[in-house]
Amino acid sequence: MRASFKFFRVNSRNIASIAIVSVDVVESNQYRIVWQEKALSLKKIYGDAVLKGINAAIEQHTMLGGGIVCISVVEIIEFYADTSSDSVMCASALATWKALGYGEESTKIVYENGWTVTFT
């Protein structure tokens, strides 16, 4: 299932953070993350943040009894002055979460010296 998440938040200092991430998730016999061509250009900049977000969603999915999946990072859209690693991490986590079939209502995004997402 393909899903995207458009992260747009303004922190308490009125600084905006924006990122858009799209992923595809399919059942698999082996957990893995692959990068599609369109996403490769930003892998060097945001790759660690994308992996951190995906792994957070997968960890919660596994704790809930979810199956093994393959995740394809389809696209990352940055906004030069307003995209940060933490916004990409959150967008990646939430895109993956949605692609796994869960809703945003079971997540919480907070700002404490950077954006984080938790799953409830």
Strands 16-27 and 32-35, bridge-based pairing = unpaired
- For residues 92 and 111, what is the distance between their CA atoms, to the nearest angstrom? 16
As a whole number of Å, the CA-based R_g of the chain is 13
Is the pLDDT at 41 greater than 90? The verdict is: yes
Between 89 and 11, the more confident residue is 89
Q: What is the pLDDT of residues 45-94, one digit of tens each?
A: 999 999 999 999 999 999 999 999 999 999 999 998 889 999 999 999 99
Say which CATH class 2-119 falls into. Answer: alpha beta
Q: What pTM did the predictor assign?
A: 0.94
Q: How confident is the model at residue 15, as a pLDDT?
A: 87
